[in-house]
Structure 1
Amino acid sequence: MTAARAAGDLGAVVRLVRLARGLTQSQLGALLCCSASAISRLETGEQPLTNTATLQRLVRHLAIPPAVFGLSPDGASGHAAPAVMPSLLKTRPVNVGSDDHNEGEAGDDLVRRRDLLANLAVAAGAAITAPNLLAPRPGWAEAAGDPGALLVGRIEDLMLGTARPQVTSVTLPVLQRALAEVVADFQSCRYAQLAERLPRLIAAAETTCGEASGDTRSAALSLLADAYNVTTRMLIKLDDGHISWISGDRARAAANASGDALVFAEATRNLCILTRTAGRHDKAQTLAVDAARRLATSAGTLDPQYLSQYGLLLSTAGYSAAKAGDRAASVELLDEAAAAARRITHGNTHWMGFGEWGVTLYRVSSALALGDAGTAIEHARSVRPEQLPTIERQARYWVDVARAFAMWGKTRNCYQALRAAEHAAPEETWSLPVVRSLTTDLLSASRQASLPGIQDFARRVHTAR
């Protein structure tokens, strides 16, 4: 460490501290909202550590003294100010069908599942079907319980104080590793594991925040806010209105107290989504655009972490505009989000899976909101689902495809898309209210004979008659 500091090799400093903290590159990447290969580039010097925002997050999450990176205690540095973000709502040409991204950034989970999902995917321009899905995986017939309901119940007990894990204050590295595990569970749609890990992480982070002070407390608050952000996103998926609002409010409060602009922006985005689901579409759009503008102004950087959050906020605003029936505003906002996505070289910055393909997923959802199933399918055909960087994004893709085919009246295609979602993310598919609604409609269809295994599938998603 002494030699690395003397040589000005900041990447080596990061690597040594990471190893001392017991973190893998993937775990540190999850904490810093970037990929494992991005961490590798920083550590080897392939990508110089000159960005102040990145240095500040390394200081916070690895508990490195700011002076090691040439930062003052308040985070200021002598680095020249980087270029500002692209202007909000400035329309740019966009190729939503591009899948030109670095597949190596997707991580080990994508590699392990690629062979399976390649058999389910469709080539660009082909009909979206999943013909090889009729044989259930071993154990599906015996699947019992509802992992989503289990997760909601555990979180509800924690929020209301009716049952709370007995934990003590822990060190920042322990919290960091726990958050990295929870993020991995979220992106892999492991609901049962989240039900075990997430309440313990939140309880431990809250206890640690209560006993810490100074920079340690700020770092712990940032980790707590991220834990609540994961919780809020899960509850939004599971359509749990009352607890998700509590979680979203706690995330924003902790993020504000931590001073972490990125975590605060994500907490704000979740509140925008909650506002939209409450039917206040115009207000949700305004909140998201304003948050994107504040992030661009305060960050003043093209750092991939900020660009990803900026793009996610604009995507959320674009979908909200579509829900409000404003097609022109939706297209304009999503085009701007795509412009931000083209400046990002990998697909899972800020652990939210944002990229050009991610904007295309929002275009699919927006077309559905506007009642245009044909356009939704056309956008979906430009995405190769097996190349989406997280299982959670793959499941969202297939569920939206199912919704589009249902709207279009194509029953068999809808069912095949639901089965593809189940193959990609069983626990997610079994737990989502939208899947249950679609399955109920399939059960009432007059052509059940063309849907082999529909009754068994319905039992797995808890809609059997």
Structure 2
Amino acid sequence: MGIETFGEALRRLRQHAGLSVREVARRSACGKSYVSDLELGRRCAPSLPVVQALDKAVGADGELVALVGLVAKITNVAYAADFVALEGDGGEVRRREFVGLTGASLFDAVLGASDDRGRAGGAIETLAGVLVDHSQSTDGPVDLPSLACAVGTAKRNYQACRYSQVISGLPRLVRDLRTACAVLDGDAQLQAHALAAETHHVAASVLLKQDDKGLAWLAADRSIQAAQASQSPLMLGSSIRIITHALMDGGHHRTATDTARGAAQRMDAALTDPSVDDLSVYGSLLLRGAIAAAHSGERHTIAELLDEATDAGTRLGYDGNHMWTAFGPNNILCHRVNIAVRLGDVGAAIKYARQVEIDKLPVNERKATLLLDTSRAFLLRGQHEKALHILRAASDLAPEEISGRPAPLRLVRDIQATAPPSLRREAREYAASLGVNT
């Protein structure tokens, strides 16, 4: 006898539990038609988070998870082959990893309690209070190695798109680093200032993700001040990246372009034998300037900055994460995708997206951004099915990148509003799972 399929196992377990298809769909936050299609073998087995939700819904005690055998893949992106094949020569969309992803069940499986989104607002309010408060912590002596470890954790959580964890940990970290900068001296104080620059950088980044422009600008300014106090040109260049991002988000695109380009030129002039950190910060500044120029439609400037960044990426030779930049050849291609979408060159965006070796991108935040940009490109091209499937892939990879950010939710709404009749129900169910209303 052959191995039981996922659909057969799901149907057997559902019937054994005495549940209807409708009830399983309700418990797992999946669409009724989707659950039915799974049982009938019309859909491939879904991603692990959805399998976990279905397993729980039918009381399978891990049987469905074991059957699918996807546990080892939860922290890796298995989309690379399908992603490259999306724009095939007239072929159908390859769906193996793009189908069957539903929002609410996915978030419950990956993030735990579904009220994380509700807590985010309160955590940001706490962070706001700390950013404007200048008092010092009196909890004990300064432990600089522990603070450095905490900053690294915040950076890693941000790059893994665990934004709720980042926000909840920042208030204490900001306060403790403020104390460290005040009470330490010598090289230890310079290191504390550098850590404060990194911390305020990540604070500004996550606040920009939340469209909190005013508070993000305050955090970005604090990052620059701390970087200057650290007396590190490299740290200053890194902090200028977030200032440029804040300027862009405020609509100051020409100033952002000039700021990024000027900082990159100063770095280039000062470097005779650049390290991997130098190349990464330098290249990232050029990329940030190119994105800003795209907002103004300055194609000559875009081409110039991208060419210089490509040269830096070639000199580096690989996609690393030096100075938390995720800079490298594939990251440059990701920026080309983003810029092409901004300029309305959707054909070019899809062409560049096909060239990206997504598994070589070192951080999930960059992978998710690439998938979102590619989804937008397909939507602009009128290929709603591909747009929706890639968006779901981004959800699977980085749930908080979709569920907790206004911009991706607007993309979900746009897909739902303009989907053709054949896709409308699927788009509506997915949007509803995220709490998105037209």
| Same fold, judged at TM 0.5 (above) | yes
**Alignment partner for residue 204 of structure 2, among 232, 242, 247?**
232
Q: Secondary structure at the match of 1:462?
A: coil
Query: 2:418 is paired with a residue of what secondary structure?
Result: coil
- Alpha-carbon distance change, 176 to 321 in structure 1, aligned in 2, over 3 angstroms: same
Query: Which residue does the alignment assign to 1:135?
Result: 100
Q: Equivalent residue of 1:342, what SS?
A: helix
Letter in 2 for 1:375: A
1:175 is paired with a residue whose SS is helix
Does structure 2 retain, via aligned residues, the 8 Å contact 1:448–1:454?
Answer: no
Matched, 1:462 2:435: yes
Pair 1:219–1:279, CA change in 2 (3 A) = same
Q: Contact (CA 8 Å) 2:220, 2:239: kept in 1 or not?
A: yes
Partner of 1:113, secondary structure, is coil
What CA deviation, in whole Å up to 9, does each residue of 1:403-446 have, x standing for no partner? 11222222212111110110110111112221111111222225
* Cα 1:391/1:149, change in 2 over 3 Å: farther
Q: 2:397 aligns with which of 424, 436, 439?
A: 424
- Indicate the residue corresponding to 2:157 in structure 1: 185
The aligned residue for residue 282 of structure 1 is 254
Match of 2:30 in 1: none
The 8 Å contact of residues 86 and 94 in structure 2, kept in 1 or not, is answered as no
Matched, 1:248 2:213: no
Q: For 1:136, give the aligned amino acid.
A: L
Pick aligned residue for 1:298 from 267, 270, 291:
270
Please report the RMSD computed on the Cα atoms of aligned residues, expressed in angstroms: 2.8
Q: In the alignment, what sits opposite 1:385?
A: 358
The residue that corresponds to 2:51 in the other structure is none
Q: CA deviation at 1:452?
A: 5.7
Tell me if structure 2 keeps the 8 A contact 1:189–1:392.
yes
Residues 1:414 and 2:387 are matched in the alignment: yes
Separation in structure 2 between the aligned mates of residue 168 and residue 403 of structure 1, nearest angstrom: 50
The change in CA–CA distance for 1:277 and 1:397 in structure 2 (over 3 A counts) is same
Aligned equivalents of 2:411 and 2:268: distance in 1?
Answer: 39
Q: What's the CA shift for 1:170? A: 2.3
- Equivalence for 2:376: 403
Alignment-derived partner of residue 355 in structure 1: 328
Structure 2 length normalisation: TM-score?
A: 0.74
Equivalence map 1:28-39=2 (5 Å)? none
Q: Distance in 1 between matches of 2:283 and 2:149?
A: 27
Q: Report which of the two structures shows the higher radius of gyration computed on alpha carbons.
A: 2
| Mapped partners of 1:412, 1:124: distance in 2 | 11
Write the deviation string for residues 99-139 of structure 1: whole angstroms up to 9, x where unpaired. Answer: xxxxxxxxxxx986336344653259647956233323784
1:18-57 matched pairs, under 5 angstroms: none
Q: Note the 1:171-182 alignment, pairs <5 A.
A: 171-182=143-154
Identity of aligned residues (%): 29
Matched, 1:156 2:128: yes
Q: Is contact 1:367–1:373 with CA below 8 Å preserved after alignment?
A: yes
8 Å CA contact 1:141–1:460 kept in 2: the answer is no
| Superimposed CA distance per residue, residues 271-297 of structure 1 (whole angstroms, 9 cap, x where no aligned partner) | 112222222222211111110111223
Mapped partners of 1:141, 1:197: distance in 2: 20
1:156-211 superposed Cα distances (whole Å, 9 cap, x missing partner): 23224499988545211011111111111011111121122222211111111111
Specify every segment of 5 or more residues in structure 2 that has no aligned partner in the other structure, as ranges. Answer: 1-71, 109-113
TM-score when normalising by structure 1: 0.70
- Is 2:204–2:242's contact at 8 Å kept on the other side of the alignment? yes
Aligned partner of residue 364 in structure 1, secondary structure: helix
Q: d(CA) in 2 for partners of 1:190 and 1:122? A: 26
Change over 3 Å in CA distance of 1:428–1:217 after alignment to 2:
same
The whole-number CA distance in structure 1 between the counterparts of 2:88 and 2:152 is 37
CA distance in 1, matches of 2:152, 2:107: 32
Give the corresponding residue for 1:93. Answer: none
Corresponding position: 1:202 with 2:168 = no
Aligned partner of 2:8 in structure 1 is none
Aligned mates of 1:188, 1:277 — CA distance in 2: 22
The change in CA–CA distance for 1:133 and 1:340 in structure 2 (over 3 A counts) is same
Quote how far apart the aligned CAs of 1:148 are.
Answer: 5.4
Q: Secondary structure at the match of 1:300?
A: coil
Find the aligned partners of 1:231 and 1:406 in 2 and give their Cα distance.
Answer: 31
The alignment of Structure 1 onto Structure 2 pairs a total of residues equal to 356
**Deviation of 1:338 (Å):** 0.6
Query: CA-to-partner distance for each residue in 1:249-292, whole Å, 9 max, x for gaps?
Result: 00000110111212211211211122222222222111111101
Letter in 1 for 2:179: T
Q: Is the 8 A contact 1:205 1:220 kept in 2?
A: yes
Specify whether residues 173 and 164 from structure 1 end up closer, same or farther in structure 2 by C-alpha distance, changes over 3 A only. closer
Alignment of 1:303-382 (within 5 A): 303-346=275-318, 347-382=320-355
Q: Is the 8 A contact 1:130 1:416 kept in 2?
A: no
User: Offset at 1:313?
Assistant: 0.7
Partner of 2:20: none
Aligned AA (2:106): W
Structure 1 gaps, min length 5: 1-109
Which sits farther off after the overlay, 214-223 or 440-449? 440-449
Which moved further from structure 2: 143-152 or 408-417? 143-152
Query: Could you tell which deviates more after superposition, 302-311 or 265-274?
Result: 265-274
Q: 1:376 offset after TM fit, Å?
A: 1.0
* Counterpart code for 2:235: V
Asked if residue 443 in structure 1 is aligned to residue 416 in structure 2, the reply is: yes
TM superposition shift of 1:458: 2.1
Task: Name 1:41's counterpart in structure 2.
Answer: none
User: 1:246, CA displacement in angstroms?
Assistant: 0.2
Query: 2-side partners of 1:164 and 1:117: how far apart?
Result: 47
**Higher RCO (C-alpha 8 Å, min separation 6):** 1
Contact 1:289–1:313 (8 Å) recurs in 2 = yes
Structure number with higher helix proportion: 2
Q: Tell me whether 1:259 sits opposite 2:231 in the alignment.
A: yes
